[in-house]
Chain A
Amino acid sequence: MIEQDSEIIFNKRVAVDTFLIGLKSPLVAAEARPGQFVMLKVGRGMDPLLRRPFSICGIREENLILILYRIVGQGTRIMCDFRKGESLSVLGPLGSGFEMPHKGDMPILVAGGMGIAPLIFLASIMEPGSFSFFAGFGSAKEVVATDEVGSSGLDLSISTDDGSAGHRGLVTELLENRLAGFDGKTSPVVFACGPLPMLKEVAAITLDGVLSCQVSLEASMACGLGACQGCAIRRSSEQAIAYYHVCQDGPVFDVNVLDWGAL
């Protein structure tokens, strides 16, 4: 883990209100694993004050980290105006990454909206054709083309809420359809990242089917280092200390260890 000023190599629009930023951060890139995140100092002054956590979407040419983001608030609104050649402070890589699937597992990647970012990174280091990748968006104009994010050839099945692209409905329906096709000879392992309602549905499906599943969570956090203890989430079983911290214990969790009712 390191903190370093990183040059912005590009910052391009890849879908409506959605951007991909490439940061020259060789030390972070050298260590980063899929599922890990970075804290970016996006404000130039005192407001906004805190860093913002972002999943790493990929590594390019060994020294570039890719971050996918959608304009949702003050911080991301500032980010979309960043120009090539400017720099910003990157702290990372932080947190645990995904535990990689074992031989004979059939990985299924399930993304909702910007939750696609860490899964693109994960897919980039897996054998092409060895996994399924489902991604849900609000509508066609929000769909992030994988060519745009440097993962051309990635075979994505899309769902949209309004049916303007791919399957009309929820991405979790694509997951359920896929699971229905399993014959028991291979074991599906699910990797999911997205909005909380989607993750709750994925958790319900995989817990019900007693399937292996890892989810990557999002939380408000101030430091990303385990110092502020702001990003607490409840553990599933009663223990002396009842909380995990998303920054250190996660952001990737086995679906079994969380208290989904409290999320």
Chain B
Amino acid sequence: MVHPDLRVKIGALELKNPVLTASGTFGYGREFSSLIDLDLLGGIVVKGVSLKPREGNPPPRIVETPCGMLNAIGLANVGLESFLKEKLPWLQGLNTAVIVNIYGHTVEEYGAVAAGLSGVKGISAIEVNISCPNVEQGGMAFGTDPDMSAKVTERVVKETDKPVIVKLSPNVTDIRKIAVAAADAGADALSLTNTLTGMAIDIERRVPKLANISGGLSGPAIRPVSLFMVHQVVRAVKIPVIGVGGIVDYRDALEFLIAGARAIQIGTANFVDPRASLDIIEGLRIFCQDKGIDRIEDVIGTLKI
């Protein structure tokens, strides 16, 4: 039997397969290293890194909702300096793409983090979070405005030699406008979507279930929304698109690939099943074998309308 070729290209970035782990759901990779072989992944997108360490929001930070969860972690992270010193050396020992998700309060801060990661060995690309719903001016302020999205993108592209992926928010009226703005500003690729803003209420105490009041909804509950946005954006821009949103098995992954995503990210499913990403890679391989498909690239963007 032929061994299907699962490699994909995201612009200049080459991945051994189209399955990445989504930022904020996979720590810095190491948390999962005793459970799965990370080298089998297409890549790891690490927890968002900001210029200074961030302690994150007060608890409760997460709550389960039907077929999904709300989180308001608040971009808790060790900060750029500690990331480079304490987290990156371990990641450099992996044989998979390491994509660093970055976040800033201001255009300048985004630029500073990008500059700090520029030229650093072992980083395959930068993913720019302009879409976090959980912190004030939390990126989403940038990600819901085409001009601001363009400004952040332009600055990050200028400050780094790495491929730049811009991660888009679904909390907008027309995501294509943001997508086009980021693409025109020089983004190498787009990833979408981040979480959908939502809330849950404790009816006994009549208080929000999250201390932050609102949080980002993720999991299978959002998948159809993310999928449609990927479908829209693929048709609106020429740069590669990475699909994210509620993917839990290889069938979900295929929906995004058929819609035109060149890779996908696994998020909340990592919490439920640490093996989810590897099972999806295996599922894609078997799907291709069963259908006599030589290359996964031949599946991408094959939606018939």
Give the CA-CA distance A232 to B55 in the complex, in Å.
10
For A74, give the chain B residue with the smallest CB separation.
B64
Question: For chain B residues 260-288, which have a beta carbon within 8 Å of chain A?
Answer: 268, 270-275
- B66 and A47 contacting across the interface, CB-CB below 8 Å: yes
Q: How distant is A178 from chain B, measured CB to nearest CB, in Å?
A: 32
- A227 and B248 contacting across the interface, CB-CB below 8 Å: no
Residues of A within 8 A of B34 (CB): 1
- B248 and A50 contacting across the interface, CB-CB below 8 Å: no
Report B's interface with A, CB cutoff 8 A.
24-27, 31-32, 34-35, 47, 53, 55-64, 66-69, 71, 73, 76, 78, 219-220, 248, 268, 270-275
Binds B, one of A79-87, A115-123, A133-141, A237-245: A237-245
- B268 and A89 contacting across the interface, CB-CB below 8 Å: no
Contact partner, B273, options A2, A89, A242, Cβ 8 Å: A89
A230-B273 contact in complex given A242-B55, A243-B55, C-beta closer than 8 Å: no
Contact partner, A227, options B57, B61, B270, Cβ 8 Å: B270
A223-B68 contact in complex given A46-B220, A46-B248, A240-B53, C-beta closer than 8 Å: no
A2-B271 contact in complex given A46-B67, A220-B63, A228-B62, C-beta closer than 8 Å: no
Q: How distant is A131 from chain B, measured CB to nearest CB, in Å?
A: 32
Residues of A within 8 A of B268 (CB): 49, 222
Q: How distant is B172 from chain A, measured CB to nearest CB, in Å?
A: 25
3 cross-chain pairs, A with B, having the tightest CB-CB distances, nearest first: A230-B62, A227-B27, A222-B271
Residues of B within 8 A of A219 (CB): 59
Contact partner, A50, options B27, B56, B57, B69, Cβ 8 Å: B69
Contact partner, B56, options A1, A48, A51, A243, Cβ 8 Å: A243
For B54, give the chain A residue with the smallest CB separation.
A241
Interface string of A203-222 (1 = CB under 8 A from B): 00000000000000001111
Residues of B within 8 A of A242 (CB): 55
Q: How distant is A40 from chain B, measured CB to nearest CB, in Å?
A: 11
- B62 and A48 contacting across the interface, CB-CB below 8 Å: no
Supply 9 further A-B pairs (C-beta < 8 A) apart from A220-B64, A222-B268, A223-B271.
A50-B69, A50-B271, A51-B271, A222-B62, A222-B71, A227-B271, A228-B62, A228-B71, A230-B61
- A225 and B31 contacting across the interface, CB-CB below 8 Å: yes
Main secondary structure of the interface of A (DSSP, over half): loop
Residues of A within 8 A of B220 (CB): 46, 49
A198 at the binding interface (Cβ < 8 Å): no
- B272 and A229 contacting across the interface, CB-CB below 8 Å: no
Give the CA-CA distance A215 to B71 in the complex, in Å.
26
For B21, give the chain A residue with the smallest CB separation.
A227
Residues of B within 8 A of A230 (CB): 59, 61-62, 71, 73
A174 at the binding interface (Cβ < 8 Å): no
Give the CA-CA distance A243 to B56 in the complex, in Å.
8
Question: Could you name 5 residue pairs across A and B whose Cβ atoms are closer than 8 Å?
Answer: A222-B69, A226-B31, A229-B76, A242-B55, A243-B59
- A229 and B248 contacting across the interface, CB-CB below 8 Å: no
Residues of A within 8 A of B63 (CB): 220
For A262, give the chain B residue with the smallest CB separation.
B58
Question: For chain A residues 25-56, which have a beta carbon within 8 Å of chain B?
Answer: 41, 46-51
Contact partner, A225, options B24, B32, B58, B78, Cβ 8 Å: B32
Q: Which of B25, B270, B274 has the most CB of A within 10 A?
A: B274
Contact partner, A49, options B55, B68, B73, Cβ 8 Å: B68
For A243, give the chain B residue with the smallest CB separation.
B55
- B273 and A41 contacting across the interface, CB-CB below 8 Å: yes
Give the CA-CA distance A41 to B248 in the complex, in Å.
14
- B67 and A232 contacting across the interface, CB-CB below 8 Å: no
Residues of B within 8 A of A241 (CB): 53, 55, 76, 78
- B62 and A49 contacting across the interface, CB-CB below 8 Å: no
Residues of A within 8 A of B25 (CB): 223, 227-228
Question: For chain A residues 95-148, which have a beta carbon within 8 Å of chain B?
Answer: none
Q: How distant is B127 from chain A, measured CB to nearest CB, in Å?
A: 17
Give the CA-CA distance A242 to B57 in the complex, in Å.
10
Contact partner, A3, options B27, B35, B76, Cβ 8 Å: B35
A231 at the binding interface (Cβ < 8 Å): yes
Give the CA-CA distance A219 to B53 in the complex, in Å.
24
Give the CA-CA distance A262 to B60 in the complex, in Å.
11
A189 at the binding interface (Cβ < 8 Å): no
A91 at the binding interface (Cβ < 8 Å): yes
Give the CA-CA distance A83 to B34 in the complex, in Å.
31
Give the CA-CA distance A243 to B74 in the complex, in Å.
12
Q: How distant is A195 from chain B, measured CB to nearest CB, in Å?
A: 15
Give the CA-CA distance A233 to B58 in the complex, in Å.
8
Give the CA-CA distance A253 to B73 in the complex, in Å.
22
- B55 and A227 contacting across the interface, CB-CB below 8 Å: no
For A48, give the chain B residue with the smallest CB separation.
B64
